Amino acid sequence: MPVGVGKGVSDRIFDVFLYTFMILVGIVTLYPFLNVLAISFNNSTDTIRGGIHIWPRMFTLDNYRTIFQYDLLLTAFGNSVLRTILGTAIGVFSSSMLAYVISRRDFIYRRQVSILFAITLYVSGGLIPFYMLMRDMNLLGTFAIYILPGIINAWNVFVIRSYMDGLPPSLQESARIDGANDLRIFWSVILPLCKPVLATIALFIAVGQWNAWFDTYLFNSSKEHLTTLQYEMMKILSNTSASQSADAFRSGDVDAATRVSPESIRMAITIVATVPILIVYPFMQRYFVRGLTLGAVKS
């Protein structure tokens, strides 16, 4: 931390620039979100007049009421919540179990297993072979495709492992003397101690799951009951940006409700798709900063 001795004139000028600059950065970062929020609470007909910045002009909850009446969006919301919860639970459990195994220095295949996973950080088969594999395994058009391919991410495993490396080995020793097997040691000795790093990994996986749209687009776009919130967002977006012409907005079929969506409705959906994660992350800040540093140092 710089020491505040010798505050000269140039120092003061620097401070003025620094704080002005930072406040500008803050505005540029926050304004779009506040703008979206304000419009989502504004009367949708009034919004067309424009000129709304960070405060609604005609406050209403109608936009939110409207979007929660679209069946498709409710399905999408449900699927997004489900894949986030399931994906995170399975992901954290699997990654930490594998991390424990390769953190054990006496494990006979430690090196081989670590290398097999490390390779996947750099080499991948690419989009088409992956797509064909999913097709051959009959995973297209299933909910499982949201969970199965992403159970383990090698990077997360290595982050957890380096955290486990820092735990005192004496704890495991005494548990072993008490006759506990490896699974038991992992579950009741190691896991409880890893809460900070597991919280970080859980946040990473949850963000990834909640924000995913491409798998829905590629594998499940014809299955309406498997749609997700981000994918619906993406459809709304590409419809509004691709068709500036009025007649595209006039079509009246199944998801016309989302297609004809006036700006306020779109912004309300944006808020629903964003807020869950934004509420969580400030509380996790302490953890993920540590988790990130661990990852960079050790791998």
Partner 1 sequence: MQLQLKAETIERKKRNSWRKIVQQRYLLLMSLPFVVWLFIFHYLPLWGWTMAFQRYRPGRSFFEQDWVGFTNFVQLFSDERFYLVLRNTVAMSFMALIVGYTVPIIFALLLNEIRLITFKRTMQTISYLPHFVSWVIVAGIVTKMLSTEGGPINELLMALNIIDQPIQFMAKGEWFWWIVTLSDMWKETGWNSIIFLAAIAGIDPEQYEAATVDGAGRFRRMWHVTLPGIRPTIFIMLILSIGWLMSIGFEKQFLLGNPMVQDYAEVIDLYVLNYGINLGRYSYGTAIGIFNSLVSITLLLSSNYIFKRLTKESVI
- Residues 63 to 82 in contact with partner 1, rule: CB under 8 A: none
What number of chain residues touch partner 1 (CB under 8 A)? 91
Residue 168 touches partner 1, criterion: CB under 8 A:
no
Closest to partner 1 by CB, 66 vs 80, is: 80
Binding mask 237-276 for partner 1 (x = CB under 8 A): x---xx-----------------------x---x--xx--
Least Å distance between CB 94 and partner 1?
Answer: 6
Residue 126 touches partner 1, criterion: CB under 8 A:
yes
Least Å distance between CB 127 and partner 1?
Answer: 5
Residue 5 touches partner 1, criterion: CB under 8 A:
yes
- Chain residues 201-230 in contact with partner 1, contact rule CB under 8 A: 207, 210-214, 218, 230
- Chain residues 177-206 in contact with partner 1, contact rule CB under 8 A: 181-183, 186
Binding mask 17-46 for partner 1 (x = CB under 8 A): -xx-xx--xx-xxxxxx-xx----------
Least Å distance between CB 280 and partner 1?
Answer: 8
Could you give phi then psi for residue 35, rounded to 5 degrees? -65, -45
